[in-house]
């Protein structure tokens, strides 16, 4: 009913918009009502795209739908074909101008939406209606390219329901069937189809993309393969979830949760980039990292959002990852876990990590050479400052570790402050930051630290990734948000290996120890809610995220691995995708057979009234009462009275009762077993009499 109510209010808005006399929802002619309903469904389907479509598309859709609604209510003429072709051509040209291409996700969605709106102006034949429905289903799918959240799923479920209702309406040509009726029929069809859906979803073999999908720029990603000063600031304000982690056993302290992403060694003065992949250059397989670990390993499960980076941020220092769903990340010697292609889907990994470790070899390796390079001509003051610090009498024989401690001490006591909005830095950004303004966040500290180390001749590099997790776990899952993106440093200590140094921890220990992120100012509503009852907001958020997590774990991450796990639970010892296909075929055939059996059974089903009468007629015939196939109970009663006289009066009365129950004023819905019982008793009595 709520849909209908919503439609009524939409109609009210429509009247205000259109200025057409509104006859009232129930007084509308059928055609007009169905068209308005379809328009409302289309509007609802397109609505979530409003935020990422160009303005002209929104304007076009609103104008076309409003016009079509007006035509439906007032009964004007639809525009001619040439006009439609003209508008479509304009839409294509505008798409070209906006996106410079017609291929790809954004232009495709824009064109599909425009086409759908224009098609409503051409609803003449049944074929046109079907084109709208199929385009509608397609547009519903495009929403999932942007978000697969529960909210979007719910909204699109409503859309599918609306579209199916419109289809059903189109196939009820008689009279004026109510929307509720058609909606119920559509819902029934979909509900009955749900088992098939569940079966297909569970068992349809998941395969990788069939061909390369064009990647879209401008997507929000936490980590990229390059770092410029200021580039992480935007990420740090993004509160969306990057990954979820669950530990088998006690969780390590938040300060130990470093998720290692790209390791940036090359520095060209403005940008930090990783070393070229060794196997990309000469085809040599990557050397695995050498990790010397202490203590027991931590086993954990990581559910990664589609981050679109090939470098998987695994917990430091992850020593082994179980390949999942055809994803087998391989470790590089700098302990990055790399995938052969960027991650476009949600994946769950099981892995093992050592939180206390030393990385790399104790002897100077090739990677340490590049980790000492500084581009000439950049940040001269910092370089000079660092060399002066090294050459200071007290520090002259110090090793890298001692020097790093000096730097950290300087950060702690040198008047530095941590802020997400340090403002723009110029060409010699490190100079400016390190010596003058002293305001910045993790990437500034990490970069300045590395530059100073290198200036002093010690190998050092930047590591980017995530640090920390939400302080409260949601049903055992710890949430790592994009805002936990972090940059820290590593330096090489002769005789030991690479050692982590987090200069941010020196200036803002809270950021590391308690994973407290610097929050941007909250929005108005959130601010008001927060002021009234901070716990309430937090608990709502936690509950919502718990539901969302279930959704993610059960629906969105369902993939090859889980499929095979389901098969294993069903008793397959070593399931393969052939088993999946076989099981799917078997289940679908069973379903089809069940359907056919039902239809067959249905054919042999007889009206219970008829069955009862047949039963009684058989009894009467055995008593010698003449029975014709067309005799109603009344006629049978007459025959009984005629044949058996007073002896059969009770039987005749029962037949009269049956006649009333079947055809009388207070006719019953179903046959009365009481009549059967009376007939049975009388029949036994009469038969035994006849026998005597």
H or E element in which residue 261 lies = strand 258-264
DSSP secondary structure code for residue 290 in this structure: P
Residues 421, 429 contacting (CB under 8 angstroms)? no
* Min dist. Cβ of residue 49 to another protein (A): 15
177 lines the binding site for another protein (CB under 8 A)? yes
DSSP secondary structure code for residue 241 in this structure: E
Among 123, 186, 312, 484, binds another protein (CB under 8 A): 186
Q: CA of 157: how far to CAs of 140, 161, 164, 294, 540, in Å?
A: 9, 6, 11, 51, 24
With b for 16 or more beta-carbon neighbours within 10 A and e for fewer, the 46-64 pattern comes to: bebbeeebbebbbebbeeb
> How far is residue 317's CA from residue 616's CA, in Å, rounded to a whole number?
84
* Strand residues in 639-685 grouped as ranges (E): none
566 lines the binding site for another protein (CB under 8 A)? no
667 lines the binding site for another protein (CB under 8 A)? no
The structure tokens listed for 28 are 């509308």
345 lines the binding site for another protein (CB under 8 A)? yes
Please, which residue, 16 or 210, has the CB nearer to another protein? 210
* Min dist. Cβ of residue 254 to another protein (A): 31
Among 178, 189, 533, 597, binds another protein (CB under 8 A): 189
The residue range among 146-154, 244-252, 274-282, 528-536 that interacts with another protein, by the rule CB under 8 A, is 146-154
* Min dist. Cβ of residue 203 to another protein (A): 10
Please name which of 631, 589, 597, 601 lies closest in space to residue 614, comparing C-alpha atoms: 631
326 lines the binding site for another protein (CB under 8 A)? no
The structure tokens listed for 11 are 């109609």
The structure tokens listed for 567 are 């098969």
Please, which residue, 130 or 544, has the CB nearer to another protein? 130
SS3 500: strand
Euclidean distance between the first and the last CA atom of the chain, given in angstroms as a whole number: 68
What is the DSSP track for 125-189?
Answer: SHHHHHHHHHHHHHHHHHHHHH---HHHHHHHHHHHHHHHHHHHHHT--SS---HHHHHHHHHHH
Please, which residue, 187 or 529, has the CB nearer to another protein? 187
The residue range among 45-53, 232-240, 286-294, 556-564 that interacts with another protein, by the rule CB under 8 A, is 556-564
* Min dist. Cβ of residue 253 to another protein (A): 34
175 lines the binding site for another protein (CB under 8 A)? yes
Among 91, 140, 302, 644, binds another protein (CB under 8 A): 140
The residue range among 291-299, 383-391, 491-499, 557-565 that interacts with another protein, by the rule CB under 8 A, is 557-565
* Min dist. Cβ of residue 68 to another protein (A): 22
The 8 Å CB, 24+ separation contacts for 124-131 are: 124/78, 126/170, 129/38, 129/166, 129/167, 129/170
> How far is residue 458's CA from residue 401's CA, in Å, rounded to a whole number?
9
In sequence order, what are the residues at sequence separation of 6 or more whose Cβ sits closer than 8 angstroms to the Cβ of residue 384? Answer: 455
Please, which residue, 9 or 240, has the CB nearer to another protein? 240
Among 557, 563, 661, 682, binds another protein (CB under 8 A): 557
565 lines the binding site for another protein (CB under 8 A)? no
H or E element in which residue 245 lies = strand 241-248
Among 558, 572, 577, 683, binds another protein (CB under 8 A): 558
Q: CA of 50: how far to CAs of 55, 109, 343, 385, in Å?
A: 8, 11, 27, 53
* Min dist. Cβ of residue 441 to another protein (A): 34
The residue range among 208-216, 234-242, 575-583, 632-640 that interacts with another protein, by the rule CB under 8 A, is 208-216
> How far is residue 539's CA from residue 527's CA, in Å, rounded to a whole number?
15
Q: Considering CB under 8 A, how many residues would be counted as binding another protein? A: 58
The residue range among 88-96, 393-401, 521-529, 554-562 that interacts with another protein, by the rule CB under 8 A, is 554-562
The residue range among 206-214, 371-379, 450-458, 576-584 that interacts with another protein, by the rule CB under 8 A, is 206-214
- Alpha carbons within 13 angstroms on the beta-carbon side of residue 567 total 22
Residues 351, 247 contacting (CB under 8 angstroms)? no
The residue range among 159-167, 240-248, 249-257, 280-288 that interacts with another protein, by the rule CB under 8 A, is 159-167
> How far is residue 404's CA from residue 458's CA, in Å, rounded to a whole number?
9
Please, which residue, 166 or 487, has the CB nearer to another protein? 166
* Min dist. Cβ of residue 104 to another protein (A): 12
* Min dist. Cβ of residue 355 to another protein (A): 32
Among 22, 137, 572, 577, binds another protein (CB under 8 A): 137
SS3 227: strand
190 lines the binding site for another protein (CB under 8 A)? yes
Please, which residue, 603 or 692, has the CB nearer to another protein? 603
- Backbone φ and ψ for 475, nearest 5 degrees, come out as 30, 60
> How far is residue 232's CA from residue 445's CA, in Å, rounded to a whole number?
13
Please, which residue, 171 or 514, has the CB nearer to another protein? 171
> How far is residue 165's CA from residue 510's CA, in Å, rounded to a whole number?
55
Question: What does R_g of the chain's alpha carbons equal in angstroms?
Answer: 37
The residue range among 3-11, 87-95, 193-201, 492-500 that interacts with another protein, by the rule CB under 8 A, is 193-201
Binding map of another protein across residues 251-280, x = CB under 8 A, - = no contact: ------------------------------
170 lines the binding site for another protein (CB under 8 A)? yes
SS3 228: strand
Please, which residue, 247 or 577, has the CB nearer to another protein? 577
Please, which residue, 193 or 457, has the CB nearer to another protein? 193
What is the DSSP track for 539-571?
Answer: HHHHHHHHHHHHHIIIIIT--HHHHHHHHHHHT
Q: Which of residues 73-132 bind another protein (CB under 8 A)?
A: 126-127, 130
519 lines the binding site for another protein (CB under 8 A)? no
The residue range among 135-143, 572-580, 615-623, 643-651 that interacts with another protein, by the rule CB under 8 A, is 135-143
Query: Checking phi first, is residue 32 left (phi over 0); if not, alpha (psi -120 to 50) or beta?
Result: alpha
> How far is residue 471's CA from residue 513's CA, in Å, rounded to a whole number?
11
30 lines the binding site for another protein (CB under 8 A)? no
Q: Which of residues 585-624 bind another protein (CB under 8 A)?
A: 595, 599-600, 602-603, 607
663 lines the binding site for another protein (CB under 8 A)? no
Q: Which of residues 376-405 bind another protein (CB under 8 A)?
A: none
* Min dist. Cβ of residue 46 to another protein (A): 16
In the complex, which residues of this chain contact another protein (CB under 8 A)? Answer: 126-127, 130, 134, 137-138, 140-141, 144-145, 148, 152-153, 156, 160, 164, 167-168, 170-175, 177, 185-186, 189-190, 192-198, 200-201, 204, 207-211, 213, 344-345, 555-559, 595, 599-600, 602-603, 607
């Amino acid at each position: 009913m709520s849909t209908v109510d919503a439609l009524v209010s939409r109609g009210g808005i429509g009247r205000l918009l259109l200025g057409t006399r509104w006859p009232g929802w129930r007084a509308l002619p059928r055609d007009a009502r169905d068209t308005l309903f379809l328009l409302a469904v289309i509007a609802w389907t397109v609505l979530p795209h409003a935020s990422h479509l160009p303005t002209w598309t929104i304007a076009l859709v609103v104008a076309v739908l409003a016009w079509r609604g007006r035509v439906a209510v007032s009964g004007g003429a639809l525009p001619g074909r040439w006009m439609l072709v003209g508008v479509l051509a304009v839409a294509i040209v505008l798409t070209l101008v906006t996106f410079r291409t017609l291929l790809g996700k954004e232009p495709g969605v824009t064109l599909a939406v425009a086409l759908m709106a224009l098609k409503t102006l051409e609803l003449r034949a049944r074929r046109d209606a079907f084109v709208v429905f199929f385009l509608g289903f397609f547009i519903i799918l495009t929403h999932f390219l942007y978000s697969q959240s529960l909210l979007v799923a719910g909204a699109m479920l409503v859309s599918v329901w609306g579209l199916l209702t419109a289809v059903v309406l189109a196939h009820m040509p008689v009279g004026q069937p109510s929307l509720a009726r058609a909606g119920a029929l559509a819902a029934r069809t979909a509900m009955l189809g749900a088992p098939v859906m569940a079966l297909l979803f569970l068992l349809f073999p998941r395969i990788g993309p069939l061909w390369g999908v064009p990647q879209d720029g401008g997507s929000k990603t936490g980590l990229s393969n390059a770092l410029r000063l200021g580039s992480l600031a935007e990420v740090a304000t993004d509160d969306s979830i990057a990954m979820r982690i669950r530990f088998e056993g006690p969780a390590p302290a938040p300060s130990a949760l470093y998720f290692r992403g790209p390791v940036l060694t090359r520095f060209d003065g403005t940008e930090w980039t990783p070393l070229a992949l060794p196997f990309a250059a000469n085809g040599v397989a990557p050397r695995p990292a050498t990790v010397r670990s202490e203590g027991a390993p931590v086993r954990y499960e990581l559910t990664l959002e589609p981050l679109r980076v090939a470098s998987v941020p695994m917990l430091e220092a992850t020593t082994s990852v179980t390949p999942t769903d055809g994803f087998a990340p391989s470790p590089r010697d700098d302990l990055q876990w790399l995938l052969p292609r960027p991650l476009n889907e949600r994946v769950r990994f099981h892995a093992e990590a050592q939180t206390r470790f030393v990385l790399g070899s104790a002897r100077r390796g090739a990677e340490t050479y590049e980790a000492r390079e500084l581009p000439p001509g950049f940040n001269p003051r910092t370089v000079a400052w660092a060399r002066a610090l090294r050459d200071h009498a007290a520090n002259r024989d110090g090793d890298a570790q001692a020097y790093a401690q000096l730097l950290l001490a300087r950060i702690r006591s040198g008047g530095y402050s941590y802020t997400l909005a340090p403002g723009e830095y110029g060409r010699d950004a490190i100079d400016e930051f390190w010596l003058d303004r002293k305001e910045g966040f993790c990437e500034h500290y990490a970069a300045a630290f590395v530059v100073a180390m290198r200036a002093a001749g010690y190998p050092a590099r930047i590591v980017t990734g995530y640090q920390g997790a939400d302080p409260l776990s949601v049903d055992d899952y710890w949430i790592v948000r994009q805002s936990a993106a972090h940059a820290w440093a590593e330096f090489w200590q002769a005789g030991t290996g690479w050692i982590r140094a987090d200069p941010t921890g020196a200036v803002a220990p809270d950021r590391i120890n308690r994973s407290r992120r610097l929050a941007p100012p909250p929005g108005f509503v959130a601010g008001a809610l927060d002021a009234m009852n901070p716990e309430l907001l937090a608990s709502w958020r936690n509950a919502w995220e718990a539901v969302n997590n279930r959704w993610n774990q059960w629906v969105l991450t369902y993939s090859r691995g889980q499929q095979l796990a389901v098969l294993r639970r069903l008793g397959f010892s070593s399931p393969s995708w052939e088993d999946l296909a076989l099981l799917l075929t078997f289940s679908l055939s069973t379903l089809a057979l069940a359907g056919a059996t039902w239809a067959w059974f249905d054919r042999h089903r007889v009206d219970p009234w008829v069955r009862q009468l047949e039963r009684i007629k058989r009894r009467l015939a055995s008593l010698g009462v003449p029975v014709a196939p067309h005799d109603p109970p009344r006629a049978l009663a007459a025959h009984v009275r005629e044949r058996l006289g007073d002896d059969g009066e009770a039987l005749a009365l029962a037949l009269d009762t049956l006649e009333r129950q079947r055809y009388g004023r207070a006719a019953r819905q179903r046959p009365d077993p009481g009549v059967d019982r009376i007939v049975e008793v009388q029949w036994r009595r009469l038969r035994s009499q006849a026998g005597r």
